[in-house]
Amino acid sequence: MADFLTGFRVSSSGMTAQRMRMNTISSNIANINTTRTPEGGPYRRKDVVFESMPEVKNFGEILGVNSPKADVQRVQVTDILSDRKAPLLKYEPDHPDANEEGYVAYPNINLMEEMTNMIQATRSYEANVSAMQSAKDMAMSSLEIGR
């Protein structure tokens, strides 16, 4: 049963990471026209950084007494980076955030790219749900054998 739990933990780490990615994409889409932020200037597109981490499952492995299996890796969000691309300038002299020349700085966010990223995140999340369901089905089948 313990090995099935490893599969659950790895799949749940993938689901957590993709949920964080989806939240970040949603924030990008919601702020596609935000020209003013507390930091100053337009909203900056955000992107998550994933990192592969060894699966640590028990207290001995956490303390380093027993080494974790090197081939089992989970995913973790290690950072959320702000895009450093220049903002898009649009000529709107009547806008309250227009500069002296009449240009307004808008976030450099491509809606089609964000929608594509959202579909990828959704598919990855669904794949992790399927893997978790398969692990659950295998665990239940092995318990049925003992009857």
H runs (alpha helix) in 68-146: 111-145
So what's the pLDDT on residue 59?
60
Backbone conformation region of residue 114, classed left if phi is above 0, alpha if psi is from -120 to 50, else beta: alpha
In the predicted structure, residue 62 carries a pLDDT above the cut 60: no
So what's the pLDDT on residue 63?
61
So what's the pLDDT on residue 145?
83
Question: In the chain, where are the structural domains located?
Answer: 2-145
Q: Cα(54)–Cα(69) distance, rounded to whole angstroms?
A: 7
Q: Kindly state the tokens that stand for 71.
A: 């081939």
Contact 131, 17 (CB under 8 A): no
In the predicted structure, residue 79 carries a pLDDT above the cut 90: yes
For 87-144, write each residue's pLDDT tens digit: 999 999 999 999 999 999 999 999 999 999 999 999 999 999 999 999 888 888 888 8
For 1-49, write each residue's pLDDT tens digit: 457 778 888 899 999 999 999 999 999 999 999 999 998 899 999 999 9
CA distances from 5 to 9, 11, 66, 124 (A): 6, 10, 18, 20
Strand bridging mode 46-54 / 73-82? antiparallel
So what's the pLDDT on residue 66?
52
